[in-house]
Structure 1
């Protein structure tokens, strides 16, 4: 086995061991996260239900006390007493029934029934001046209802003359709470040993056979939890309520527990695949090594060392000189593909050859490699960043002289150079990755640039790598969520609309800024499925708000250029509208001028189709492009959102932005277009745009983006943020 093979096999072993370790650590981390998350959610849920139950009981007692204070005025007239109890019972739908109990135990109900008291213990406590809760019993008027009675004394002239009893169905109360919640667990309500409510399909005994032993041991603590099976994140949380009920929450239906099985399967699968890949690579490397002994390690066109030689040199020569600081230079010819299309392949090869001679003369004895069609690598030793940049400048300066190719006209070339020093990453792959990254950044800035990879830029590269990695599965993991920024209408002095904004909270990266991930989803076409998800999510949110009774509002959402270019965009929109049955009059699709300007004809067709579906459209960031006025004339928009830059610069550019803003608003109003001015952050800005004729306002002064509940609670009102 050659040294190279030994190194590769060792690296494969390290990679496999690392992946196994990481997989085990990942599973352990997932397991710990799920256990902690499920236990916390289960405990929080039982605490929430207990608090709500206690609050509910206290409110009912207060209501009964108010009724009891009035009862002495009608006690002498039984008919009037029944009438009063019946009237109060209708006002208070929380009670299944109200009744007055004489000291001899005869019961008179709000609907006129008379019978002898059955809950003797709570009745006697009330006669002693206590507020008492009974055990559950079948309601006299409706035996199908299991209820509990809240009893308290009725005083007349400081003497107890009877007992007022309010009957409540705690199972209905807990049931109503479960309907309003997304439960990460099964909820059970116990009175003594009896289960009076269950949100689960299975009985508590099927889920936790020994639950009564656990319940019996909880008397000393008002709230707590038991570990049924910690490895499987199965917990049972309990809480004693003020009225002697016990609420249990079982975590067996918590959706987070599914992550454990997924993590076991995924990490086991990763280890298996890694093992198979490592074995395959080891066998393939052995085969390649036999071939590589006879392969040329020089680039045929330029005569320079190629990537294979660079790898050998890096591992066998350069790494032996670890005490000497060096850097990897990634050099590329700017706009080479354009040159190739213009002059053809043969002349472009001549350019590469001439360039290689020029750069070889500049770098001297420093190792030089051709690693791509127009890409070269240089290894150069120097003690400081300044020396590295000075060396790179010599390459830039050498391009001041044109490349001559026989009878052809001379060609002036420029290059982009990315530099990665050895203290940032001493292994070849890391240095190559980072040198390539800064070279790309130099190209993006127009070329003829030198960018040096420092520690801060290396951190950014690593962060971008992590974002790229986590972003691939963010949608399927449901890590995206939506917030809504209220839009204020001047005419009604109220909030009438909301702009939808997407946010990403990654379990690995935490909250990621939209500016860090939105461009990436645009680049890798993830915006197509994410856009579909966003439209569907907004449609469902509109439906939810309407079910809650809210009507007078619209919701705007942004549509990207990739979505407009997608031939299935309109079909996707139609499908979502059919499935959600959302009121299309509530939807406004926003598009920026840069998106529209790329293809006016196609954009016009899309906008017209959306309008025909009942969806209004808005031109976003109006005023930032060069063709805004013509776009207004050519495309069917109903709204114009004026870019925030005009508002921000109203008082800092000598009134220029203010004049332009005033003119834009007048044009929009003359065209009978609704205007939305973005970026309002102060009271002064709000007053100024009002006076200019703005119709709707958006900005932090009105409100920051908020969650759906906070947003809809602001509908129809306006209080500055």
Structure 2
């Protein structure tokens, strides 16, 4: 020390060294502080970038969550409820992940990858600005439990709204109040969180500006001491200065990178974002907003936002700024989320938007608002399509059922409720087995589950049971519902109630196999059952029998008493037949008055006898029709398997042949088939075959039998009678071919032929002999039902130029007893035409004397069966006497047919009978012979 004192130069050197050392120490201290500041700025820039990204993501998701809650409150459809609830749950999950990142750090992914530097929660909080930001972070973290509680609240809201939909219109009065209060609670939590998310965005921008200012201050500080330090410490601190400059450059680079990434985030987000000041003037706008609105940023900034893009409501009415939800936040800070308004583009078009308006605070005062929005045109269209689809499903006439993968019902539409009788709330959560009946085979269900569990669809028919126990049929289409990954999430069943169709099918099947009148098996089912009986007989070596039954004279009953009466008779006959056979025997109706009885499990032919006799006896009691008693008999033919045939067609044909044999034997009996009977059936088939085309081949000819005036013994007319000579069959009797023509309808053209020939021939005789000859023509009941009969007669009268008074039409009593109105009309028209009507074969049918008085008969013809024994049988004489007296009393002329002796003629003359015909005078003869007879014998004594 003394030496230093002693050497001034040394002291100066030491002082200079100490000064330099002090400067170096100060320089090092300043450099160290600057480096610390640079590190702090870099860390905070990274954190600010992370907070911006997280805040924006949470803000957007909260916006969507609030929109979902709003949507939930308006739903009235269960399927749409499920969709919106899923959207809300997805948003809530991402919000909770964002809060967890703020608390713990880590990686958060939501469209844009957001990387936070690896930090724990302590240094994340410590790196926020104090004390303000620390309190802010705590506020955000405190909202975490509230957000997590939303899971439970949202589930409760979902259940309440679902109950409201299911119970509508009978939901409890307090249900809507509970829903409203719960929505209010949820929205409060969402709004608070959304406000804080908005603050995160705002705070990140403000803090970034502060960091920039601090960096500028640090940069100025560095510039102020940089040159002196370099000059003074040129050789001592170059390394330290180099480190400092490198760190500052890195800070600048990090800040620029953060700003670029933030700008990239705003530029690339699909949502439109703009800010307004407290007057509603636009302060900033991102590219998406500019693009959607059609304005450049310069055209939007410093313009009244509401007047430019928000001036008109969706209904076209003016939207005052004072009512604008977007600007209302500037007054009281109330956050609004809206999805039912329009924004207007520069070109004058509009588009629906979903937007949220959040306040911007500065030192506790609202200084503006940030609005983010999205074009929801596609969503609105999708929602409209969904609503249309849901409405279509609800209004669909087919049932729609959706279950989860466990088979528990989650949704049913209105058609399901109508069809099954169950309300939706009665089946939700339950298995579709509640509809199961025991009538659907288990194999159906096995096939069903095998198909849908393998990812395939299933189609089929199920018979289910309604709530009230009634069975019903459904045609079902069941298929798995898969998500985008191909995983099955639900099962969908679309079912159509086909109960009516099944009833119709059953009815059609019944109609195809059963007679509609008697409800007996028809020909088709009879042949099928007969085939089964034959197979069983072959298998068991048994016999079987076919009984072919035909009602005797049923045609007369049907024609005389109306078809309605005939139908009643057939129904009664069918009932008696069923009561006369064994329980396993089959009684069927082939058609008309023909029935078939099938007997199986026979050991001998004798077993058929008591059954056949019982059937005949069942017809002995009179049938009662409309208060009248009627005796009806039946003729039966029997064929035996295997002796008379080994197939259904042959057995039926042979039984039919045996039945005709019973008819020929006098009816009301039965006959077993014999091979000799085939000759008779062959004859009938030959007659039927030759009748076809016989008229065209001119094989028919008219014969005439004279009718005499008994008192004058003079020919006054003829009866025309049809004869048939076939080159193969020879002469065919009328009683053989006429019934066949009536059955086949050939009687109509034959009748027209007879009318034309008889009238024209008679007209020739009248002209030749100058006599008013009359001609009698037989008209069958089938002809009388022909609506063209009157026209044919009028045409023939005109064609032949013969007066109508020369025509006599002979009809049987059966025509009159039908009771049809057309009978009255036809007889009245014929009478007005001047044609004489004769009642033919009087006394042989179901005579009703009242008809003689009711209808305009001119003649009454007594049947030959009463004339034959008139001279020897007192009973016949009395009947003839009474008939003549009755006819005269009614002013009707009497004609006797079948007169063969002078005694008969004389007796009839004594009783006052006016006309007669028979072999006593002449048999029926051809027209040529009749002409010769008229020329030579107009007065006859005997033939």
Output the TM-score relative to the length of structure 2. Answer: 0.36
Output the TM-score relative to the length of structure 1. Answer: 0.46
Q: Which has the higher contact order (CA 8 A, sep 6+)?
A: 1
The structure carrying a bigger helix percent of its residues is 2
